[in-house]
Structure 1
């Protein structure tokens, strides 16, 4: 099953958490110093916010899938739509390890389709988030 994914860059994480928790009627399911995520069932969405050195606003959209076969299916559709697909295998981003397919739509919006493989204790790469400066566009871009 697929879950819609929205990632928004924010200037003030605490204000964002307060706003979206009120909007969704739920607290984040993942909460870090630089990141918060809500896994909602109504609507079925993985909604994340972060303060990671990017411009405020929509960082990217996408789909989280439950099975690797669903990721393969979406990759094939993207390729048949003549989209240039960037595949990533077993990468760490947003406190999770995932297989991913990235494209940019005709309007310039980044789309991420991913199958989560588990959690990791850091935002990006192999170091803990507090051990390195916020990347401009390395993870989730």
Structure 2
């Protein structure tokens, strides 16, 4: 079953944990010094926040899937729409190891379709020197969806 994913960069993690815990009526399922994640059933969402130096705001959006088949289906949908897809198998990101496919929407927002494979002890592959969240840099993609009446 699919779950909507939202990752927000925040300037104050503790303050944001208090805010979102009150908003969702639940404590985070995972808390790290620079990261927190809620795995909610109502609404069904994987909501994550991090304070890793990125400007505050939406970092990326995504669809978390539960099986290789669901991930392949989402990948196929993107490919059929002729969207450029960045494949990232075995990605180390957000304290998890995952298989991912990234696209960027027309506004420049990164979207990931992913399946988590397990947890890891670091936010990402610290050996690579990354400090922000994983994923491609937000780069607007020119996609012609056509105009009304065309």
TM-score calculated relative to the size of structure 1? 0.91
Question: Which one has the largest radius of gyration?
Answer: 2
* Gap change, CA 1:140 and 1:28, over 3 Å in 2: farther
Tell me how far apart the structure 2 counterparts of residues 2 and 66 of structure 1 sit (CA, whole Å).
Answer: 7
Q: Which residue of 1 aligns with 2:80?
A: 80
Q: How many pairs were matched up?
A: 136
**CA offsets, 1:77-110, max 9 Å, x none?**
1111121100011111000000000000112111
Quick one: distance in 2 between partners of 1:136 and 1:113?
19
Question: Retained in 2: the 8 A contact 1:60–1:110?
Answer: yes
The DSSP-based 3-state class of the residue aligned with 1:38 is strand
Does the Cα contact within 8 Å between 1:52 and 1:134 map onto a contact in 2? no
Alignment-derived partner of residue 68 in structure 2: 68
TM-score, reference length from structure 2: 0.86
CA positional deviation for 1:136: 4.1
CA RMSD of aligned residues (A): 1.5
Q: Distance in 1 between matches of 2:101 and 2:130?
A: 23
Structure 1: 4+ residue segments shifted above 4 A: none
